[in-house]
Amino acid sequence: MSNKFQRSSPQVLGAGVGVDASVVSSTASNQPRKRVKRCCRNFVTFMCTQVGVGALIVFYAICGALAFMNIEREYVDKTATYVLELRQNYSQRLWNITEELNLIDKPLWVNETNAVLREYQVQIAAIIKNGYVGRSPAQIWSFPAALMFCLSVITMIGYGNMVPRTPWGKGFTVIYATFGIPLYILYFLNMGRVLARSFKFLYRSMHDCTQERSYDARLEALENGSSLGALTLRKKIIVPSTACLWVIIFYVLTGTIMFANWEKWSFLNSFYFCMTSLCKIGFGDFVPGASLTTAADVDAATHKLREDISADPNEVSELQRITDQHSKLAINFIYMLLGMGLVAMCRNLMREEVRVKLKEMKEDAKLCVEDTRLRFVGCCGDPRDLYENDYY
């Protein structure tokens, strides 16, 4: 028995060692998987924070701008050639009318030329209505313009000053908006919450510094406990709606001055653009970035200088000097995103004030009803007392 036990014990021990080795190997193989899961979980957690959502929406807009540039610049616009042929045909018709009449019958010449020009005007208006702006796709879809287009898509402003022409561009716009709009809503909620907390803390700090507390309030706070008393006093401070309105007005005036200087707009047009954009109206008649010069504009001016002798040679150098001003549009992009965050902040703060006001109105209504009931009882007596007297 002892020999069998001694012989079998190494087998059992070897089996135990094998089991332990398999467990250790499986644990070692699961460690990289757990590490990857942990990294993915931390990445998703960071992306759900305010900084992560803001960085993600900026990265999403930049990637969308680059994608739209590569897609829409492949569009072959034949409208410019058609407009050139149309202008040449109508010029030839005017020349034929002039050569035929030879200014002998001036009223007839005026009528004929007016009819031709009226027909030309109608056709040009129809072409412009279909989206012709007199620029090539490379000039239209510059990086600043594409960035503002992506911002208008994900924020649901929809300026409408530039639209995709290619089928791939239209399909990509649908997909881009499908994922971009929920991302913007998440940014809107998170940024509004963060800015509301920051502004509330700033307002309460300024209120505590400027407000003179009475001796009774300090004594009451000390009797109830300093931290609890201070906390109850701080909770009573609510940011008023007028402060939110002043913040929005100051921000709009800052944007008005900035866009008026950079885009060469009037102050009224600049103020009009800021208000319509922050309110998500987005008519599209004023869009930042339209006055910025692109490399395609420089190439077009160079080609014009080669063909036209009377062209100004300083125009190309001036365009090259102002081509590197696209950093302005990046600031415009940040201005719009921050403005949307401020709108969300004001929404949260005003909602809190409305809740407090409704709660106060509810308590006042209860007190008013209770006071009315006590007055009625004092004047007429309680009906329940009469009923009890009759009963007994």
Report pLDDT digits (tens) over 130-188: 877 777 888 788 888 888 899 889 998 888 888 898 999 999 999 999 999 999 998 88
Per-residue confidence (pLDDT) for residue 93, from 0 to 100: 84
Q: Evaluate if residue 98 carries a pLDDT over 60.
A: yes
Q: What six digits make up the tokens of 356?
A: 């407090």
In a domain, 312, yes or no: no
Residue 109 belongs to a domain: no
pLDDT for the residue numbered 206: 82
Say if 70 falls within a structural domain.
Answer: no
Look at the chain and report how many structural domains it folds into.
1
Quick count: other Cβ atoms within 10 Å of Cβ 302? Answer: 14
Q: How far is CA 93 from CA 90, 124, 231, in A?
A: 5, 16, 85
For residue 301, the model assigns a pLDDT of 57
CB 68 within 8 A of CB 141: yes
Q: Does the residue 343 lie in any domain?
A: no
pLDDT interval class at 216 (50, 70, 90) = low
Alpha-carbon dihedral 150, 145, 346, 177, rounded to 10 degrees: -10
Determine the Cα angle at 309 with ends 306 and 312, to 5°.
90
Q: What is the mean pLDDT of residues 332-343?
A: 88
- When mean pLDDT is compared over 98-107, 312-321, 338-347, the highest value belongs to 338-347
Phi-psi region of 264 (alpha: psi -120 to 50; beta: other; left: phi over 0): left
Angle at 139 between CA 143 and CA 68, to 5 degrees: 45
**Weakest mean pLDDT among 112-116, 186-190, 220-224:** 220-224
Q: Which two tokens stand for residue 64?
A: 């969308």
Average pLDDT of the residues in 350-363: 86
| Three-state DSSP class for residue 49 | coil
> Mean per-residue pLDDT for 296-318?
57
Q: Each residue of 41-87: pLDDT tens digit?
A: 776 666 667 677 888 888 999 999 999 999 998 888 788 788 888 88
Q: What is the pLDDT of residue 90?
A: 86
In this prediction, residue 388 carries a pLDDT of 53
Position 2 scores a pLDDT of: 46
In this model, does residue 125 exceed pLDDT 90? no
If you average pLDDT over residues 223-231, what whole number do you get? 51
When comparing pLDDT for 46 and 2, which is higher?
A: 46
pLDDT the model gives residue 4: 45
Q: Phi first, then psi: what are they for 287, rounded to 5°?
A: -135, 125
| Residue 228, pLDDT above cutoff 50 | no
Express as a percent the part of the chain with pLDDT over 90: 15
Distance between CA atoms of residues 162 and 69, nearest Å: 12
Residue 25 lies in a domain: yes
CA separation for the pair 84, 134 (Å, rounded): 11
Whole-angstrom Cα distance, residue 216 to residue 166? 73
The size of the chain, in residues, is 392
Q: What is the structure's pLDDT at 199? A: 87
Is residue 269 domain-resident? no
Model confidence at 229, pLDDT cuts 50, 70, 90, reads very low
**What pLDDT shows up at residue 94?**
82
Query: Averaged over 371-389, what is the pLDDT?
Result: 67
Nearest to 61 by CA among 146, 173, 161, 171: 146
DSSP, collapsed to helix, strand or coil, labels residue 84 as helix
155 contacts: CB under 8 Å, gap ≥ 6: 184, 280, 336, 340
Instruction: Please state, in angstroms and rounded to a whole number, the distance separating the CA atoms of residues 220 and 218.
Output: 5
CA 358 and chain centroid, separation: 31
Q: Rounded to an integer, what distance in angstroms lies between the CA atom of residue 331 and that of residue 144?
A: 11
* Structural domain for 32, as ranges: 2-48
Is residue 148 in a domain?
A: no
Is 27 within a domain?
yes
Task: Count how many Cα atoms sit within 13 Å of the Cα of residue 312 in the half-sphere of its side chain.
Answer: 6
